[in-house]
């Protein structure tokens, strides 16, 4: 099978080539292009059996029309999300879509804890101060996590990993989810959202973005939080209403805010750094606060997670070749 791999970064190529070699998958060859998949680049797939794309690719009707015309019948998503695909059109053309539903949840959970710790102890500020030869401690006071309360919203794969990490810190762990995770019953107490908001010293978001979770953190829920809380979001930007978060920061509600995801992520705010865009950017406004730390959607970015993504994607290709059904098939509807 010949796969065209879109939007290649050097680390993608490395992890996929290493996995091909390590697993001895000789039936698969991959060509890599730096271009992302969209209507302008879909025609590059001529002569290939499958394309490999990412959550950032534009896989709407036009792209699928062209992929179908070029004989592509397998779309390998090297990510969990697939809301960028026109599923009706893919179904119409019989294009099979396979994805990677889960990979190293610990990668994201460990990053969530890193953000919580870094914003609590002002590590970014400390780092810059010492580099400037300023060894004073002013502005660096934090609080112990030990014996404090961690509130975890969403206790699926990543949220459960975060619960285990918080327990390791000696924290009391409470959680809110629409389903209870049995594996956590020995040390996690499920509570209503209101109680989680009012009792937690650290709140970390691990639920998916859906109608029911859109802007789950807004000025009403922020007002219910303890003063001096730390809020971490490594899930999806639109779980937090950014304007309200800014209002909350101005009210001095937060000791720290750590964000790996933010509402403007897809607007290329920081790629196109024009003054006008930055002036209206809520993310740029967030960055002006000294107790906010933002990273660039890097929660998943560990060697182990990239290896797991490559392995599952290539196994998906093999299952397709063998005509096997897979739990990684994306179903329409
Ligand atoms: P998961 O499906 O295993 O868990 C999600 C949990 O959220 C489930 O237990 C579900 O019941 C719960 N949930 C659903 N609706 C809810 C609601 N209204 N309120 C509270 N909880 C609710 O997913 P996961 O693998 O743990 O991933 C969680 C999220 O992490 C993903 O949706 C994704 O947005 C994000 N993510 C981020 C990165 C990153 O690099 N930062 C990487 C992977 C995933």
User: Is the beta carbon of 105 within 6 A of some atom in ligand 1?
Assistant: yes
Give CA separation, 115 vs 70, 142, 200, 256, in Å. 45, 13, 16, 9
What strand order describes the sheet that includes 74-77?
29-32, 2-5, 50-53, 74-77, 96-98
Distance from residue 137's CA to the centre of ligand 1 (Å)? 37
The boundaries of every CATH 3.40.50.720 domain in the chain are 2-103+302-321, 105-294
Our answer on whether the CB atom of 83 is closer than 6 Å to any ligand 1 atom is no
pTM of the full structure: 0.90
151 CB near ligand 1 (under 6 Å)? no
Phi/psi for 292 (5° steps) reads -115, 130
Please identify, in words, the CATH class of the domain defined by 2-103+302-321: alpha beta
- Mean pLDDT by runs of 10 across the 333 residues of the chain is 97 96 94 97 98 94 98 96 92 97 93 97 95 96 98 97 98 98 98 98 95 97 98 96 97 97 68 59 86 93 95 97 96 79
- At 264 the pLDDT is 78
159 lines ligand 1 (CB under 6 A): yes
Instruction: State the catalytic residue, choosing from 96, 99, 111, 236.
Output: 236
Q: What pLDDT, on the 0 to 100 scale, is given for residue 269?
A: 47
What integer pLDDT is reported at residue 283 of this predicted model?
A: 84
For residues 51 and 3, the answer to whether their CB atoms sit within 8 Å is yes
pLDDT of residue 273: 53
68 is catalytic: no
Q: Taking the domain 105-294, which CATH number applies?
A: 3.40.50.720
């Amino acid at each position: 099978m010949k796969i065209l791999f879109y939007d290649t970064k050097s680390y993608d190529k490395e992890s996929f080539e290493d996995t091909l070699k390590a697993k001895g998958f000789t039936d698969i060859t991959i060509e890599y292009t730096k271009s992302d998949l969209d209507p302008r680049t879909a025609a590059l797939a001529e002569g290939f059996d499958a394309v490999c794309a990412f959550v950032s690719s534009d896989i709407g009707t036009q792209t699928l029309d062209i992929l179908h015309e070029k004989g592509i019948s397998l779309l390998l998503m090297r990510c969990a999300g697939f809301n960028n695909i026109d599923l009706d059109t893919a179904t119409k053309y019989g294009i099979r879509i396979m994805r990677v539903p889960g990979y190293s949840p610990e990668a994201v959970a460990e990053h969530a804890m890193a953000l919580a710790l870094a914003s609590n102890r002002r590590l970014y500020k400390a780092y810059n101060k010492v580099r400037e030869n300023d060894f004073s401690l002013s502005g660096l006071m934090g609080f112990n996590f030990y014996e404090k309360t961690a509130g975890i919203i969403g206790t699926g794969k990543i949220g459960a990993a975060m619960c285990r990490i918080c327990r390791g810190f000696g924290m009391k762990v409470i959680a809110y989810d629409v389903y209870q995770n049995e594996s956590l019953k020995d040390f996690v107490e499920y509570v209503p959202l209101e109680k989680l908001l009012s009792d937690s010293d650290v709140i970390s978001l691990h639920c998916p973005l859906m109608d029911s979770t859109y802007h789950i953190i807004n000025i009403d829920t922020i007002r219910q939080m303890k003063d001096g809380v730390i809020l971490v979001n490594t899930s999806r930007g639109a779980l937090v209403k950014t304007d309200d978060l800014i209002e909350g920061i101005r009210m001095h509600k937060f000791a720290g805010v750590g964000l790996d995801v933010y509402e403007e992520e897809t607007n290329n705010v920081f790629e196109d750094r024009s003054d006008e865009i930055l002036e209206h950017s809520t993310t740029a406004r967030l960055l002006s606060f000294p107790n906010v730390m933002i990273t660039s959607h890097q929660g998943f970015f560990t060697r182990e997670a990239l290896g797991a993504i490559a392995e599952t994607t290539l196994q998906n290709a093999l299952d397709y070749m063998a005509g096997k059904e897979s739990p990684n098939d994306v179903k329409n509807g």
